[in-house]
């Protein structure tokens, strides 16, 4: 055998074998260990006892590292983010929970709540229906599904009765303790305008009368200030759309002040033109939905 092909010295082979054995034994200790199902259950119980929302979120973030495939812990984290109004993160964890456990009804209900509060009525209907197929006795979700269906009708431009309007506007949202039912009522209200019109439609005036009489004047919102936000679809030029959206918001604000005795200082005006569509401007029906005035709470 030539010098170039000689085997390494025995001592070198022994050292290499020892190093490999050490790495094989030590590596598992260096990697994060997944907790057992029993451990994950204990972690979930500990998180439920934590009342502070920020502390609970942080506790659950650590728990997910130990129990990444636990649907209940992912659901709880989604709920934490929902209550903190981080709806994008809440949706992500609800989706994870429902994927890990397709029979997790509460995860679908959570998704429905997120879609409803972000004005995605069609997605909300689908999520509530999936959840209720698993838990048909859930009265809160059934009521939310009813509201989502009514809101979807309104977004499609279909006629909505005054009884249906009240169902949507004053639904109890007991799940989210951070947003009162009255506040949620206003934040979810959409006033739809035809084409490029800036004149408040009769249906919109009726809805504003209901809200103005019972929500804006409530004790809960005595010190609240809201932004009245005008929007359009993407047809036409940006400058014109911005002007139209402002006039729409001003029309809504003026109606509330003159006809519902709302203090002017409670309502600010904002114009977004066609920059913030709810749905893609791909169909005439979608464009009707984007021609709207909505509300956002400033304080």
pLDDT in the model for residue 74: 93
Residue-level pLDDT at 171 = 52
Q: Give residue 160's pLDDT band: very low, low, confident or very high (50, 70, 90).
A: low
Has residue 33 got a pLDDT over 90?
no
Does any domain span residue 202? yes
* Rounded mean pLDDT, 36-43: 78
Asked if residue 158 is part of any domain, the answer here is: no
pLDDT digits (tens, 9 = 90+) for 66-104: 889 999 999 999 998 888 778 889 999 999 999 999 999
- The predicted structure's pLDDT at residue 32: 43
Q: Total domain count for the chain?
A: 1
Tell whether the model's pLDDT for residue 59 goes beyond 80: yes
Please report the pLDDT score of residue 27 as a whole number: 39
The pTM of the full predicted model, rounded to 2 decimals, is: 0.52
CB contact at 8 A, 287 and 236: no
> What is the rounded average pLDDT of the residues 160-182?
53
What's the pLDDT at 165? 59
Cβ burial of 165 (10 Å; 0-12, 13-18, 19+) is buried
Question: Which pLDDT score, from 0 to 100, does residue 16 have?
Answer: 44
For the domain that residue 260 is a member of, what is the CATH number? 3.30.1330.60
Q: Provide the CA 116 distance to its chain's centre, in angstroms.
A: 7
- Domain for residue 280, yes or no? yes
Whether 120 is covered by a domain: the verdict is: no
Largest interatomic CA distance in the chain = 104
Residue at 198 is within a domain: yes
Which pLDDT band, with edges at 50, 70 and 90, does 137 fall under? very high
Q: Which residues pair with 269 in a beta bridge?
A: 228
Which pLDDT belongs to residue 234? 93
In a domain, 225, yes or no: yes
pLDDT in tens, 191-234: 889 888 999 988 888 878 877 767 777 777 778 888 999 999 99
Cβ burial, residue 214 (10 Å; 0-12/13-18/19+): middle
Domain residues for the domain of 258 are: 179-299
Residue 270: strand pairing partners: 229
pLDDT grade, residue 161 (50/70/90)? low
**Does 111 reside within a domain?**
no
């Amino acid at each position: 055998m030539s010098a170039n092909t000689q085997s390494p010295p025995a001592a070198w082979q022994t050292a290499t074998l020892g190093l490999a054995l050490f790495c094989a034994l030590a590596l598992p200790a260096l990697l994060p260990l997944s907790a057992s199902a029993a451990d994950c259950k204990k972690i979930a119980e500990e998180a439920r006892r934590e009342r502070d929302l920020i502390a609970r979120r942080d506790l659950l973030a650590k728990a997910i590292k130990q129990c990444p495939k636990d649907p209940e812990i992912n659901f709880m984290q989604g709920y934490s983010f929902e209550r903190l109004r981080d709806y994008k993160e809440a949706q992500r964890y609800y989706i994870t929970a429902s994927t890990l456990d397709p029979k997790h009804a509460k995860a679908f209900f959570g998704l429905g709540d997120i879609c409803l509060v972000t004005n995605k009525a069609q997605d909300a209907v689908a999520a509530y229906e999936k959840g209720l197929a698993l838990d048909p006795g859930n009265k809160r979700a059934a009521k939310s599904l009813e509201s989502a269906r009514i809101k979807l009708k309104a977004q499609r431009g279909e006629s909505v009765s005054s009884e249906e309007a009240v169902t949507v506007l004053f639904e109890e949202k007991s799940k989210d303790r951070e947003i009162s039912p009255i506040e949620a009522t206003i934040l979810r209200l959409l006033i739809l305008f035809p084409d490029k019109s800036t004149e408040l439609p009769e249906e919109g005036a009726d809805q504003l009368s209901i809200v103005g009489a019972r929500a804006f004047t409530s004790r809960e919102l005595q010190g609240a200030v809201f932004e009245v936000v005008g929007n359009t679809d993407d047809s036409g030029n940006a400058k014109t759309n911005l002007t139209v959206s402002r006039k729409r918001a001003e029309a809504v604000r003026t109606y509330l002040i003159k006809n519902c005795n709302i203090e002017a200082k409670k309502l600010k005006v904002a114009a977004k033109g066609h920059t913030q569509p709810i749905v893609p401007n791909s169909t005439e029906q979608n464009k009707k939905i984007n021609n709207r005035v909505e509300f956002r709470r400033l304080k």
